[in-house]
Each structure stands twice: as structure tokens, then as C-alpha cells.
């Protein structure tokens, strides 16, 4: 019995010590995903914020937005993140200070696999002490209880950050007010192969996607929340190299219907002839390169200004 007690005391001490050092090291990061997230969670007060996944991160250039709209802007886009994360990051920001405008880039895959979205909330675990209630807000009661229980460990919040810390110490990843430019372009052979594969898929029988209705409802609540905060909102579908398939169109229409019912302006570039099939504007099938992002952001601002004139 004494040995068990000694072991548990030693385990708690080790966990506390390693957790303390992990926290110190975590907050020394100057570049990369977590350095940017730390800035968003603790510091940023930009008037205009861009929310979304890697499409937001790679497509929206805050410097152009700032110059055109005469308001400070920051890109909050985060690789691989979907509805749960973006709702949380908005709430974290709004608790500290509300932005004037949200540019929300929505992807069709936001409405699938809620469990995976919950797993990806681990990106916010290092900030549990500040925003833990927001991080677990949209979890089930059971998942919320288990999630909170894990934070009895002092090292747990930083378990998934060590690789990133090492990576960005060795290879710093700089951004431009959150925007991460991409170089390179899709070559012609790649594009031909993509178009051929798309034609073959279009011949297959299409079935309505098994989306998660609870996520669709959560998106509607998210829109209501932003509107209740009296924050300007634009919902955007940004460009893809290929025209949207039937599943993307189906889910995009659901989003548009929600926005129409709530009088939220939607700007859709997913089916734009300026971008579809224009490989030199894309780094890969779904991400614009820097040249494409500059064209897109300028076109977006022009479209937003037209919408704003009609809203006035």
C-alpha cells in the first residue's frame, strides 16, 4: 500500500513538473499553427476576421481586405478545421472583444463526422484553462465529462503539440496576418487526370449524402449567434479548380437556404469560370496559389461592396 501511494505521488509530481515545462516551451513559439492560435486566443482585436479551414487560410489575404475596407483584418483560417472549431474560435474572440465583421468560408464537408471534428478540437487544448467551457460546449454530456477529466493531467494539454514545436523551431512558418501564401501550380497532366476522374464519377449513380443534421442545426445556431452579436457576416464559398460535384452542390444549397432565411449575404465562387479549370491559379485541386488568392480576394471585396450597398 505504501509503495502504491509513493508511486502515485511520484507520478503526480512528474506530471506537474513536465506539464510546467511543456507549458513554458509551448508559449515560446514564434511561428507556426500554435503561435498563430495563441495570438488569436489571447491578443487579436482585428475588426474583420476570416474563419474557415485551409481554404480560408490559403485564399483570403488580410492586407488586401484592410486596404480596401479600411479596417484591420486577420485570417483565422486553420488547416483541417470545420464547424465545431470555427464556432469555438469565434466565441473565444467574441468573449474578449467582438469583431465588426466575420467572413465565414464554408466547406461542404463541415456537416459530416462530428466525432472527427471533436477530436480536432485538440488544437485548442493548450488553452483549456482560459476557454475550456467553449472548447467542450458542443460535445455530448458524456464526451464533455470525459474531456474535462483528462485535464487532471498537467501534461495532457500539450501532448499533441511537441511535434509542432520541434517542426517550427527547425523550419519557421511565417504568415501574413494569418494568411499563408502557396507557390507553384497544377501541371496540365494533373488537371487532365482530375477532369477525367470527375467525368467518370459523374456517370455513377448519385445518392443523397448522409450528412449530420445536428451539424446543420449547429451551423444555423452559429449564424444566429453572430447576428445576435450585431456582427456583420458574409458567408463565402471560395474557388476550387474543378466545378463542384453533386454532393457539394447539395450541401451548399442547404447552407444558402439557411442564410437566405436569416438574410445573411452569400458569395459563391465555387462555380466561377475565372477559376474553374484554370490550373495556373491553383497550388493543388482545392487550394489557390498566391497569384490566385490575390485575384480572388480582390474579386471578393468587389462583390462584398456591392452586397453592402444593397444592405444599406
What are the cell numbers at 230? Answer: 450585431
Nearest-angstrom CA–CA distance, 232 and 101: 4
Nearest-angstrom CA–CA distance, 84 and 51: 12
In a domain, 9, yes or no: no
- Can you give the pLDDT at residue 81? 97
In a domain, 169, yes or no: yes
- In the chain, what percentage of residues exceed pLDDT 70? 98
Average pLDDT score over the chain: 91
- In angstroms, the Cα distances linking 273 to 76, 218, 269, 270, 279 are 27, 32, 9, 9, 12
- Tell me which residue range forms the domain holding 270: 22-311
DSSP one-letter code for 75: E
DSSP one-letter code for 125: G
Average of per-residue pLDDT across 283-293: 96
For the full predicted model, state whether its pTM sits above 0.85. Answer: yes
In a domain, 59, yes or no: yes
Residue range 10-28, pLDDT digits in tens: 777 887 888 788 888 888 8
In a domain, 8, yes or no: no
Q: Are 178 and 79 in contact (CB under 8 A)?
A: no
- In angstroms, the Cα distances linking 290 to 79, 107, 126, 137, 161 are 17, 20, 31, 36, 28
Residue range 203-252, pLDDT digits in tens: 788 788 899 999 999 999 999 999 999 999 999 999 999 999 999 999 99
- In angstroms, the Cα distances linking 71 to 46, 49, 306 are 8, 10, 17
When pLDDT is cut at 50, 70 and 90, the band that residue 281 belongs to is: very high
- Can you give the pLDDT at residue 7? 64
- Can you give the pLDDT at residue 25? 86
- Residue labelled with grid coordinates 465588426: 100
Q: What is the CATH number of the domain that holds 65?
A: 3.40.50.1110
CA nearest to 102, candidates 211, 16, 230, 202: 230
Nearest-angstrom CA–CA distance, 182 and 150: 37
Residue range 57-115, pLDDT digits in tens: 999 999 999 999 999 999 999 999 999 999 999 999 999 999 999 999 999 999 999 99
Q: Are 158 and 22 in contact (CB under 8 A)?
A: yes
233 three-class SS: strand
> Which strands, in side-by-side order, build the sheet including 48-51?
73-75, 48-51, 101-105, 232-237, 266-268
Phi-psi region of 243 (alpha: psi -120 to 50; beta: other; left: phi over 0): beta
In a domain, 4, yes or no: no
pLDDT top residue among 307 and 298? 298
In a domain, 214, yes or no: yes
Q: How many domains does the chain have?
A: 1
- In angstroms, the Cα distances linking 4 to 1, 7, 152 are 5, 5, 19
In a domain, 87, yes or no: yes
In a domain, 15, yes or no: no
- Residue labelled with grid coordinates 507520478: 11
- Burial class of residue 227, CB neighbours in 10 A (0-12, 13-18, 19+): middle
- In angstroms, the Cα distances linking 198 to 180, 191, 279, 283 are 28, 10, 15, 19
Amino acid at each position: 500500500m505504501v509503495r502504491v501511494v509513493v508511486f502515485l505521488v511520484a507520478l503526480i509530481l512528474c506530471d506537474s513538473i513536465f506539464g510546467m515545462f511543456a507549458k513554458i516551451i509551448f508559449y515560446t513559439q514564434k511561428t507556426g499553427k500554435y503561435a498563430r492560435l495563441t495570438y488569436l486566443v489571447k491578443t487579436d482585436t482585428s475588426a474583420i476576421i476570416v474563419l474557415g479551414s485551409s481554404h480560408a487560410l490559403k485564399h483570403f489575404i488580410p492586407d488586401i481586405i484592410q486596404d480596401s475596407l479600411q479596417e484591420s483584418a486577420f485570417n483565422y483560417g486553420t488547416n483541417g478545421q470545420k464547424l465545431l472549431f470555427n464556432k469555438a474560435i469565434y466565441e473565444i474572440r467574441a468573449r474578449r472583444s467582438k469583431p465588426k465583421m466575420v467572413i465565414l468560408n464554408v466547406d461542404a464537408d463541415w456537416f459530416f463526422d462530428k466525432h472527427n471534428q471533436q477530436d480536432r478540437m485538440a488544437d485548442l487544448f493548450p488553452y483549456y484553462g482560459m476557454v475550456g467551457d467553449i472548447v467542450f460546449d458542443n460535445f455530448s454530456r458524456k464526451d464533455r465529462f470525459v474531456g474535462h477529466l483528462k485535464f487532471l493531467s498537467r501534461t495532457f494539454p500539450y501532448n499533441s503539440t511537441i511535434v509542432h514545436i520541434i517542426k517550427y523551431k527547425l523550419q519557421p512558418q511565417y504568415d501574413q496576418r494569418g494568411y499563408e501564401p502557396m507557390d507553384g501550380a497544377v501541371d496540365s497532366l494533373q488537371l487532365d487526370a482530375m477532369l477525367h476522374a470527375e467525368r467518370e464519377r459523374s456517370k455513377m449513380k448519385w445518392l443523397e449524402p448522409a450528412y449530420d443534421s445536428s451539424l446543420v442545426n449547429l451551423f444555423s445556431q452559429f449564424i444566429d449567434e453572430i447576428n445576435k452579436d450585431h456582427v456583420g457576416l458574409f458567408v463565402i464559398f471560395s474557388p476550387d479548380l474543378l466545378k463542384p460535384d453533386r454532393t457539394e452542390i447539395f450541401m451548399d444549397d442547404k447552407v444558402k437556404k439557411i442564410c437566405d432565411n436569416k438574410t445573411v449575404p452569400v458569395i459563391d465562387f465555387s462555380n466561377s469560370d475565372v477559376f474553374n479549370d484554370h490550373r495556373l491559379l491553383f497550388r493543388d485541386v482545392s487550394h489557390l496559389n498566391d497569384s490566385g488568392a490575390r485575384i480572388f480576394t480582390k474579386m471578393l471585396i468587389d462583390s462584398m461592396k456591392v452586397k453592402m450597398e444593397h444592405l444599406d
